[in-house]
Amino acid sequence: MKKYLSFLFILSVVLAAGCKKEYAPPVVNAPQSTSVEVTKTVELTFSFTADGGYKSSMVTATGGTAAIKTDGAPGTSGGTIVVSFTAGTTTGAGSVNLTLTDNESQTETVTVVLSIEGVPTMSVTENITINTIWETGRIYILEGRITVVSGITLTIQPGVIIKGREGSESNATALMVARGGKLMAEGTADSPIIFTSVSDKILPGEIISPNLSPDLNGLWGGLLILGKAPISAEAEAMQIEGIPTSDLNGLYGGTDPADNSGTIKYVSIRHGGANIGEGNEINGLTLGGVGSGTIIENIEIVSNQDDGVEWFGGTVNVKNAIVWNTGDDAIDTDQSWGGTLDNFIIVNPGDECLELDGPEGTMVAKHTLKNGSAFAGNAQGLVDLDPNSNVDINGMYFFGLKSGQDFDELPTLYPCTFTTFEATLPAGTAVADFFKGGSAQFTTAVAAGANTVGANKTSFQGWSWASVSGALNDF
């Protein structure tokens, strides 16, 4: 009887083994090959059948990175898998390889070949004489001095990169908005507009240059905005510095304090200041006779050979500005600018942190600087004023000082207000060693990081090179 039962058991095992269902291997259908721009992301949808029940999938890629965005459901016999692929910075072929495994440990691998293409690049060779839009996702190359002429509007969409061709003197490149023209350059905190050199390999979506250091300057010109607001000079209208007198688009000044030259928001200007003549360079951002109807907010100047921002008269207000690594002054005012600079950061200028000059003609206006922080670094001085400077400065913090840097005189011709200065001083020094000519009376020494006045650096987070690189960590 025992032998019989053993026989029946063995027979049942054999029959059970012989009756085990054989599942077909999984089948994965790949989408068609497609193209994608460098640094951009594309989604790929794979369909599958898994007779043995879906278990898992794995993805690898060349020419970029890939990740499973939507996976198959465990145990199902079919469905879809969505893979996101982000291209790298090199053009050419790429691929996505998807491997699916079922519950029977059977696998299937399929490959999608991708074409990685460069960013569309447009060459700008002539002045802007019709209303024009520079589109998101594109790079525009300035091949020379390009002017938005009177009566015309240039609109630059978020994320656009403008690159100036290298050159000096008559071949210096720049973008200039003539009197009566408008620039609508409205970037966003997530997608700033970047002006840089053609040598910069930066692509849309990037903030930090992949190949240029933040102290390299003079590779192209800069951005010049010219308006019809009053200036204090020899004449009602003057030729802006940095532009040859033969180019009449370079005139600025007039009689309309509310003149509107457009809107500039979330714009970073880098590696400029090309020399156009002996001792004559272009500023990162030049504002000549720009009126109060113009909106300028959230701007960054990085490594300009001349000044960072320079005002020549006008009435425009500027809010949230950062100037980093200039060869000359960070902030320079001339010809009775009559506006306000609010919330600004200065990092390591070459000459003065602030050079605030008085009027040159009969028209007199006062400008205001407030809520500023300055890391003096290699600067030659802190604040340089003329006897006839006409300015109020409220709430300034200085640190990173070294011997020889100073605030050396106060204006005497016009009533000016200077309040609430704070400074972190080198060991063994006193306020009067740096703040002279009466400026010590409104300056207080504070420990590093203990300042109660200065700029709010959160305004620059995410979109500015200085913030993303860590250059503002000590502010």
Give the Å distances, CA to CA, from 104 to 25, 30, 108, 192.
9, 22, 12, 51
Query: Given this model, what pLDDT does residue 2 score?
Result: 52
Residue 185 within a domain: yes
Query: Given this model, what pLDDT does residue 253 score?
Result: 98
pLDDT category, 172, cuts 50, 70, 90? confident
Residue 2 within a domain: no
Provide the whole-model pTM.
0.88
Q: In this predicted model, what pLDDT tens digit does every residue of 1-29 receive, in sequence order?
A: 555 545 544 445 444 455 557 899 999 99
Q: In this predicted model, what pLDDT tens digit does every residue of 255-294 receive, in sequence order?
A: 999 999 999 999 999 999 987 755 567 999 999 999 999 9
- CA separation for the pair 85, 470 (Å, rounded): 29
- CA separation for the pair 396, 124 (Å, rounded): 41
Q: Which amino acid is at 384?
A: D
Given a cut of 60, is residue 453 above it in pLDDT? yes
Residue 242 within a domain: yes
Residue 7 within a domain: no
More confident position, 205 or 281: 205
Same domain, 58 and 148: no
Q: In this predicted model, what pLDDT tens digit does every residue of 376-388 receive, in sequence order?
A: 999 999 999 999 9
Helix and strand totals (H; E) in the chain: 2, 35
Q: In this predicted model, what pLDDT tens digit does every residue of 129-170 receive, in sequence order?
A: 999 999 999 999 999 999 999 999 999 999 999 999 987 676
CATH number at residue 86: 2.60.40.10
Q: Which amino acid is at 323?
A: V
Same domain, 363 and 451: yes
Domain count, the chain: 2
Same domain, 182 and 149: yes
Same domain, 104 and 249: no
Q: Rounded to 5 degrees, what are φ and ψ at 171?
A: -100, 5
Average pLDDT over residues 41-49: 97
Query: Given this model, what pLDDT does residue 13 score?
Result: 46
Average pLDDT over residues 333-349: 98
Mean pLDDT rounded to a whole number for the chain: 94
Same domain, 72 and 210: no
Residue 257 within a domain: yes
Same domain, 94 and 157: no
Given a cut of 50, is residue 311 above it in pLDDT? yes
Query: Given this model, what pLDDT does residue 408 score?
Result: 86
Same domain, 278 and 373: yes
Given a cut of 90, is residue 59 above it in pLDDT? yes
Of 117, 148, 176, the position where a domain reaches its end is 117
Query: Given this model, what pLDDT does residue 302 score?
Result: 98
Residue 331 within a domain: yes
Question: What pairs with residue 72 in β-bridges?
Answer: none
Going by the DSSP 8-state scheme, the letter that residue 128 receives in this structure is B
Of 85, 117, 149, the position where a domain reaches its end is 117
Give the Å distances, CA to CA, from 23 to 27, 29, 90, 99, 125.
12, 18, 43, 18, 65
Residues of the domain holding 246: 121-468
Given a cut of 70, is residue 206 above it in pLDDT? yes
- CA separation for the pair 100, 82 (Å, rounded): 13
- How do strand 41-49 and strand 238-239 relate by DSSP bridges? unpaired
Residue 9 within a domain: no
- CA separation for the pair 377, 380 (Å, rounded): 9
Paired tokens of 249: 């688009």
Same domain, 175 and 150: yes
Given a cut of 80, is residue 124 above it in pLDDT? yes
Query: Given this model, what pLDDT does residue 19 score?
Result: 56
Beta strand residue intervals within 174-317, DSSP E: 174-177, 182-186, 193-197, 223-226, 238-239, 251-252, 262-270, 275-277, 280-281, 285-288, 295-302, 309-312
Of 87, 117, 147, the position where a domain reaches its end is 117
- CA separation for the pair 380, 374 (Å, rounded): 13
Average pLDDT over residues 445-467: 97
Residue 19 within a domain: no
Same domain, 268 and 280: yes
Same domain, 71 and 152: no
Paired tokens of 233: 């000079």
Query: Given this model, what pLDDT does residue 20 score?
Result: 59
Give the Å distances, CA to CA, from 310 to 26, 395, 410.
67, 21, 21
Same domain, 209 and 353: yes
Instruction: Out of 38-42, 244-248, 315-319, pick the least confident.
Output: 244-248
Average pLDDT over residues 322-350: 97
Q: In this predicted model, what pLDDT tens digit does every residue of 225-265 receive, in sequence order?
A: 999 999 999 999 999 987 888 899 999 999 999 999 999 99
Same domain, 104 and 153: no
Paired tokens of 350: 């070459």
